[in-house]
Structures are given as structure tokens and as C-alpha cells.
Amino acid sequence: MSTRDYTPLDTALIGLDQALRTIFGRPLVTERPNPTDGLSEIEMSEEQREHTARLMRINHTGEVCAQALYQGQALTAKLPNVRDSMERAAQEENDHLAWCEGRLKEFGNRKSFLNPLWYAGSFAIGAAAGAAGDKWSLGFVAKTEHQVCAHLDDHLEQIPASDQKSRSILEQMREDELHHATVALEHGGAELPGPIKLAMKLTSKVMTQSVYWI
């Protein structure tokens, strides 16, 4: 059955299943291996472990937001090739979600309590971006992914150089995010207006600061 055969109820139920998997369950990952496979754990001070775990929690919530954005955009995207691109990117973001969650468990830490809130807000933003038109939706994807890359660069500077397990996850995530941004631009993504870019920057700052603690 292709997506064009789905009824509105089917689509709603699929979206609900994706939301529940993203926030509370186990996301459906791709065929790619975990970047940490074969890497050994290292000794870190309690302060280093706690700080790195909190950074990974931010990255996990960022992937929750990415899932919601892509799912919202795929729901309202106009062109089939744009919708397909969104869905493949969402599958790869699921890998990031699983990798970050696995690393959090290795640290003995937890996911953010705010994930349902951030998912709901990001889904609404993604759906609105998709409804505004594919060029704006894709432009939003590109800007979001570049913003994520900046966060990942910052986190890579803060994480101990010897923590190859965490670093391998973040480095693969960064490579994927850059690819998603490039694909979005190649499909016709438009440059976003300044006020929207500023709002995205401020929202991202609120997310990272709140999730670090909650």
C-alpha cells in the first residue's frame, strides 16, 4: 500500500504511532550500524560523565524535535519527491535518536522530561512550514540542520577527546545533518527571512538550556 492509498484516519494513526515511538518507545531505525560498535568505554571523572550525559540528552531531544519537524512537514508537503525526502531524513534521524538514547543509558542518565512538549511544538512548526510551501519547508530544513551542526561542533569541543563513543555518534550525526541540509537546498529550499531565523535561534537556545537540567 502506498501513501497515496492511505485514508485521513490511516495517516492520523500512523502519525500517532510515530509520535509514541519517538517519545516513549523504540524508534524504527535504518540498516546502518551504531557508530560506537567496537569502541571501548573510558574512565571519566563524575563531573565529566555528568556533563557529557547532559549534552547527549540535549542531542537526544534535538532528534525528538527533528522527528517531529520532518513528520509534520511530510504530512503537509505538496510534491511526492519532497515528501519522500522528508521521510528518508526522518528515518536517519531515528538512528540518531536510538544512538543518543543508548549512550544516555550507558551513562546511567535519563531522557528529558520535556520531550513531549518539544515534540508537540516542533510538529506544529513543521506542519506549518510544509503548508507554507515546499520551498519554505525545505529552507526551514536546511536552516535547522545547519543550526544543529553548530550545536554538534560546540558539543564536540566540550566532550573529552578520549570519549570516542560519544564523539563517534556526534560526528556521524553531523555528517548526516549536513547531507540533509544539502539535499533540502538541492530540492529548492529558499533562504528564510531574518525574523524567522532569529526566532529559530532563540527557540533553540531555550531548548538546549532547559533540557540540560530537566
177 known member of a binding site: yes
What are the cell numbers at 27? 524508534
3-class state of residue 214 by DSSP: coil
179 known member of a binding site: no
H-only helix segments in the chain: 8-23, 46-76, 80-106, 115-132, 134-158, 164-186, 194-213
63 known member of a binding site: yes
**CA–CA dist 143, 201 (Å, integer):** 10
87 known member of a binding site: no
Sign of CA dihedral 36, 42, 47, 50: positive
145 known member of a binding site: yes
Whether the CB-CB separation of 77 and 137 falls below 8 Å is answered with yes
In angstroms, how far is the first alpha carbon of the chain from the final one?
Answer: 41
Question: Residue 161: which of 44, 28, 25 has the closest Cα?
Answer: 44
96 known member of a binding site: yes
Which residues line the annotated binding site for Fe cation?
63, 93, 96, 145, 177, 180
